[in-house]
A and B are shown apart, each in its own frame.
Chain A
Amino acid sequence: MSLFVPEEEEVSQNSNEDGPRIVKPEDPIVEEIPLYLNHMTDSEHDICLFQYISQLSSKPLTNNKGIQIPACRVKPESQMVEIDVPLDTARFFDKQKSDEWSTMTSETYGGNLLDSRGTYIMGIQSNPITGKREIVLTPINKTAQIRPVFHHIDTHNEVSKDGEVIGTTVQEAPKKAPAKNNVQVVQMTAKNIGSENEIRYSEAIQSFKKFQSEDFVESTWFDESDENSTKLKEKLYGDEELKSKVLEVTESEKDYINKLLNDKLVLR
């Protein structure tokens, strides 16, 4: 038995970025595919890629698989997302444990949004007119690895320990609406930070405090089948205007290498 999700073949993307061509013995061109670059990110959209680390690719979180996402939240400052996914209470479900944790109906997935420069969504499709394959690349701004988070256990611990909760560590509510008392605690923390030794906290603690003081913003989840999703999908595959501009190599190999090398100072 393998522990692993089978590998997906992504070899072709890699060979694109070969860069300088040094001694390449036999490498004949098999097929030429036109490339298009979709500049969606420059406009109003922030395209984020969610990697469901523990989710099987055969079971996507879509309506047609019978999964409806009840809630989805973001902390825009701390760059944190959380998604509630309903639990299959029919199979492999421990009712007793669930009751202990104040009746679970959904589990929570979460992750940090990290800047992902140089990553693209690649859409391969065949041109409806010519029937030839074409590739549309769309740059991604952020990537998040989505993993299960166990807020219910932490909340359960706090409730059971009751008075033993230390300092300002009241956890943000794991469930839908943030409770009122949370707001209060948050404000107190904020005051503390503002008044005294703000500089002295290490960056990790600062960001943690910021994360705690920030509220989740509820956002809307559109299913794959939703109208909005289809629209966006179409956009991702590019419109007519985009299709008129095939990406072409304008630079010599040498310039390209230099660009690759000099690019990084700006990036840093």
Chain B
Amino acid sequence: MGSASKSGRDHKHSEPDEAFNELLKPVYKGKELTDKIDTVEDKWNLLPAFLKVKGLVKQHLDSFNYFVDRDLKKIIQANQLILSDIVPDFYLKYTDIRVGHKSNASPDAPIEVLLPPHECRLRDITYSAPIYVDVEYTRGKKIIMHRDLEIGRMPIMLRSNKCILNGKSEEVMASLNECPLDPGGYFIVNGTEKVILVQEQLSKNRIIVESDEKKNIVQASVTSSTHERKSKTYVVTKNGKIYLKHNSISEEVPIVIALKAAGIISDLEILQLICGSNQKYQDIFAINFEEPLVKHNIHTQKEALLFIGERVKTIRRFGAPKLSKLEEGIEAVANTVVAHITCEDGNDLKEKGLYLAIMARRVVMAIENPKMVDDIDYVGNKRLELAGQLMSLLFEDLFKKFNSEFKMNIDKTLKKPNRANEFDALLTINVYSSHISHGLERAISTGNWSLKRFKMERAGVTHVLSRLSYISALGMMTRISSQFEKSRKVSGPRALQPSQFGMLCTADTPEGEACGLVKNLALMTHITTDDEEAPIRQICYNLGVEDIRFVDFSSIHVAKSYTVHLNGTIIGLTKFPGNFMKLFRFLRRSGKISPFISVFANSYQSAIHIATDGGRICRPLIIVENGISRVKEEHLRKLKLGEWGFDDFLKNGLVEYMDVNEENDSYIALYEPNIEKTTTHLEIEPFTVLGAVAGLIPYPHHNQSPRNTYQCAMGKQAIGAIAYNQFKRIDTLLYLMCYPQQPMVKTKTIELIDYDKLPAGQNATVAVMSYSGYDIEDALVLNKSSLDRGFGRCQVLKKHTEVLKKYPNHTKDIVSGMKVDAETGEPIWQHESLGPDGLGEVGLKVDSGQVYINKCIPVNAGDSMLGNNPNMPNYGMGNHRETPVYYRAPEPSYIDQVMMSTSSNDQSLIKVLLRQTRRPELGDKFSSRHGQKGVCGIIVNQEDLPFNDNGISPDIIMNPHGFPSRMTVGKMIELISGKAGVLNGSLEYGTCFGGSKLEDMSKILVDKGFNYSGKDMLYSGITGECLQAYIFFGPIYYQKLKHMVLDKMHARARGPRAVLTRQPTEGRSRDGGLRLGEMERDCVIAYGASQLLLERLMLSSDAFDVDVCNQCGLMGFHGWCNNCKTSEKVIGMKIPYAAKLLFQELISMNIAPKLRLGDVF
């Protein structure tokens, strides 16, 4: 029971979060506690309560907490002993492990981290805490206990329970330069923020039945995964017969032989197990009895084991004992096939046989009815792998390596015949402690997860946390990446699955190759961590399940009797499935077992499945009993008063978590009035089908669905506020909006994720009309005065890092001061923005070509230290060469911050942050929240723009052609709601499946003297005349996207060329040329402009003068043919340098290309 109650307790201790407390205050959003509580409306308050305990990135934090608190201990236990091959008495035993705490530390002592997270970011250090172990070992004859031995450092996930920010108030956060709204859930490794993305996988240790109807193949497979190994076992059909297939068995084993090997010897029992009394199944299966008997003459278990043992591919590890064929067979059946079920008794392999028989039965069922296969895209068949699980795999691998190296060292020392003093194992252990720290650090910083024991190499596990905007960071934390190959053209895994409802966001997925493979979590989800199996198994027996070990096989597939499976493995039989599930759920609802354990029945398989494994997505639902919702008015009142939290709802059995499988087995009402007699659950809030990013869209239910998907991609590119500590950060690239505004039309999601506190956009007054002709193809017309007032203005901050190196000969890099003009005494132009210390002065402008770090490196850095004594008189400034850092950009920048510090390897680190303030210009990209992007086509003076009766002119004019094909009705409603809100002085809501009603908004407009439809009469700014049509006019929230002309504009007349080919370089960053590509070339050819072709492809590119000898056809040099030893027939001509290069390369390969020249005219 320990596990279950523990996770319950964890929730209670969750940090007091100011942000959410506001929602629980007596008066919130104009609603008071004394207001009437309407259960239909107010049950949504469960959502903020859920997020208060769970948070948006709780899945990462839970998983990491589980790893450091429990998984580590399990790993230590599994790899507890180190023994020596040399001295049999020697042992070293790990007894405990802790992260960040010494054994004597009080529970509320601060975690031992070196530096607070923000300092780690600034100084390029890893945010980590020490890993302490307690060991017990022998020294001579004595047994010594040693506590708090550090074996390495563990990178700490921010906001986890090992992070110093855990449970801290906003004030403390501020003092640590942390943003209280930052969700955490990432690591800081060498100063960069790294996220371990959630990985989606097919569930482990479950039978999956697939069929290929064309090839007439049915197969049941199970991927067994234990701490030690991973392998896949198949039960397949071949020519109508069923075989067992496994990688380590060289040929397919007839299923009957496999079952006999596992101790199910009699044919009667095999038939009973697989077919039951079903005549059709018996007919399908009967053929399988023939081959073992006739071809292989196998009757007994021993014969069958020998049969398998002879076919095992033995990969003998060093030192492993040699086994007889019979033993090989036992080993294969007991430990290799379906490896996650371990048979500890080699004489009793029936459990394994039972599992194989169930696999075979599923195959038989699928042969009889091809619909009885599993859907591998069904979310219930998927598991999500989180940071904690990945870290645990990695740590175990590193720990094993650490132990084996340590053991080898011990053996080496013990082997020496006469040791001077008594051997103390711990003296050498510190040597290896860096292996664990570095291993963890390297994996997180490169994203390469290589696990020796599974022979697994996975790249791209971690990503740099995108800090483009608050939403992009948040979006990254909820992202799920699939293991599927992106290049494969498959539709199944990419399609929207009905089982995704409420678990994975239906809108948020990228376009293009990763479409449908990268997903996002919905707003109200939880990902389970592993729970103990054994207590649940015992509970099942206590609830009347018959132990499968004592069940007569003939009674397994009897009508009305259900098999009970725990995490895919059969444990028993019950004749009262309904009653059993009722009781089991009762225990869960009353908090006796973990709320995340799911139970559901599969009537096709006559099976009850109980799942306790980690990685299942689940979400809370309100329990409905006898057609009445269990959440009543009084409960919601308690919630409002703050007496109850979300966990009280859970504990009192009003709300429960459902995973996808169990959800599939229940009848869920969307709204309370829809509840029927058979309803089992009620949604808390339908808008939670969307995730955090899609939740920003107002009225998304009125939009065409791809538009919402487009917005999800664009919302992450919007420039806005990043965090409260944004001005303290020194990031490689940071975009900040100068005057961000919260949207006029909000959603409940926006409030829940605090987007209103860190917004990315501004409320622009939009007129939907045509203007000037510079608004085609979605281009926008911007009001110049609005830009003057700060609309769309943003700052771009770029970091430059410089390290002052130290060299082996005791010389080091230095920063020298500015150079001064001899006459005036003023600094020279290049050094104008430098201070006396040789670093740029904060606040000064740097133009292109000016220096902002005047670094000098020693001339003799490579010399040996013997010849160059630093005490020698000429040692000093004269020995350094200037290598200044120049600023190169079309627009000047200002120096925003200069930081000097030392990094982890003791070298000086200089970081300079350069700032540019940009106002929108032609070509900058904007978008509304409805997937409607456009670039600025023209900037118009305010006096020329249309205006209304109140003299208001628009900030943006949008072309009405943007609407018909896009069908973004939500945008229109946003405008009306926004306009009503402006007139009314209120913020309106555009929450999905709800929000402010259009009728109400129109009412406000009419009351304030406007047209109900949001249209206004405008006057032309140019003629002053009234426009001929009423114009749809009002505020729409616009985002400025990161794509700006300044970063993209590029032109070149002359410039650098590549060394090898002498052709112009490629790309803006290298000041490259603009390519006249193949298709352009074809056009020029078709047009017949041969001279243009010659000019573009050769003269302006890599024209080269060569001397060709018309006698031998080879190239000469300086009018001389070295081949013919004459200058007689050498002719000069122009060819592309690339052609010349090709000729030379061919010559080097013993192919002589010869040129025969003739006169054209």
Contact = CB atoms under 8 A, between A and B. Distances in A.
Interface of A: 2-5, 7, 11, 14-15, 17-20, 22, 49, 51, 53-54, 78, 80, 112, 114, 116, 118-119, 143, 145, 147-151, 153-154, 157, 166-169, 171, 196-197, 199-209, 211, 257-258, 260-265, 267-268
Contact of B347 (A22, A49, A112, A199): A112
B606 to A, nearest CB: 15
A206 B334 CA distance: 12
Contacts of B320: 197, 200
B535 A166 contact: no
A53 B269 contact: yes
Contact of A18 (B277, B558, B583): B583
Interface string B1-27: 110000000000000000000000000
A262 B269 CA distance: 37
Contact of B321 (A145, A157, A197, A257): A197
Contacts of A22: 582-583, 586
A265 B344 CA distance: 21
Residue picked from A17, A49, A209, most chain B C-beta under 10 Å:
A17
A268 B535 contact: yes
Residue picked from B543, B550, B586, most chain A C-beta under 10 Å:
B550
Contact of B265 (A114, A147, A196): A147
Contact of B575 (A11, A118, A149, A168): A11
Contacts of A204: 330-331, 334-335, 342-346, 349
Contacts of B535: 261, 264-265, 268
B1 A3 contact: no
Given A7-B555, A196-B321, 10 more contacts: A17-B542, A78-B347, A149-B265, A150-B265, A200-B321, A205-B334, A209-B346, A257-B592, A264-B1, A264-B537
Given A5-B552, A17-B544, A200 B319 contact: yes
A153 B1 contact: no
B277 A207 contact: no
Contacts of B335: 202, 204
B303 interface: yes
Contacts of B575: 11, 14
Contacts of A147: 265-266, 269
Nearest to B552: A53
B436 to A, nearest CB: 25
A205 B319 contact: no
Given A11-B575, A260-B542, A268-B535, A168 B324 contact: yes
B541 interface: yes
A207 B346 contact: yes
A143 B546 CA distance: 13
Contacts of B349: 204
Contact of B302 (A4, A7, A11, A171): A171
B311 interface: no
Sort A-B residue pairs by CB-CB distance and give the 5 closest, nearest first: A264-B538, A208-B346, A167-B324, A204-B334, A204-B346
Nearest to B282: A3
Interface residues of B, number: 62
Given A51-B552, A154-B300, A157-B303, A206 B265 contact: no
Nearest to A197: B321
Contacts of A199: 83
Nearest to B557: A4
Interface string B501-540: 0000000000000000000000000000000001101110
Interface string B67-110: 00000000000000001000000000000000000000000000
A250 B1048 CA distance: 82
Interface string B551-568: 011110010000000000
B271 interface: yes
Contacts of B537: 264
Given A17-B542, A20-B587, A168-B324, A153 B299 contact: yes
A20 B583 contact: yes
A211 to B, nearest CB: 5
Given A3-B272, A207-B345, A208-B330, A268 B538 contact: yes
B1060 interface: no
A152 to B, nearest CB: 9
Nearest to B555: A7
A224 B54 CA distance: 64
Given A3-B554, A150-B299, A154-B302, A264 B539 contact: yes
B643 interface: no
Given A4-B277, A14-B576, A18-B583, A263 B538 contact: yes
A203 B576 contact: no
Interface in B301-317: 301-303
B549 interface: yes
Given A196-B321, A261-B587, A153 B303 contact: yes
Contacts of A196: 321
A262 B266 CA distance: 40
Residue picked from A53, A203, A261, most chain B C-beta under 10 Å:
A261
Interface string B842-859: 000000000000000000
A148 B265 contact: yes
A268 B3 CA distance: 14
B1045 interface: no
A18 B265 contact: no
A260 B539 contact: yes
Given A153-B299, A166-B324, A262-B1, A211 B272 contact: no
A261 B552 contact: no
A219 B597 CA distance: 47
Contacts of A119: 547, 550
A22 B324 CA distance: 56
A49 B299 CA distance: 27
A197 B542 CA distance: 41
Contacts of A207: 344-347
16 contacts: A18-B579, A51-B550, A143-B550, A148-B266, A150-B265, A150-B299, A153-B303, A169-B325, A196-B321, A204-B335, A204-B343, A207-B344, A208-B347, A261-B539, A263-B542, A267-B538
A204 B348 CA distance: 9
A169 B347 contact: no
Given A3-B268, A3-B271, A112-B345, A166 B325 contact: yes
B375 interface: no
Contact of B319 (A18, A148, A150, A197): A197
Residue picked from B343, B346, B583, most chain A C-beta under 10 Å:
B346
Given A3-B277, A202-B331, A261-B592, A18 B544 contact: yes
B277 A205 contact: no
A169 B534 CA distance: 36
B326 interface: yes
Nearest to A80: B347
Contacts of A150: 265, 299-300
A143 B549 CA distance: 9
A2 B271 CA distance: 12
Contact of B534 (A200, A209, A268): A268
A257 B584 CA distance: 12
B327 interface: yes
B1141 interface: no
A116 B550 contact: yes
B1092 interface: no
Nearest to B299: A153
Contact of B268 (A54, A157, A166, A202): A54
Given A14-B544, A18-B583, A202-B331, A265 B2 contact: yes
B593 interface: yes
Nearest to A8: B555
Interface in B330-357: 330-331, 334-335, 342-349
B608 to A, nearest CB: 15
A14 B572 CA distance: 13
A91 B324 CA distance: 40
A19 B300 contact: no
A80 B345 CA distance: 11
B539 A20 contact: no
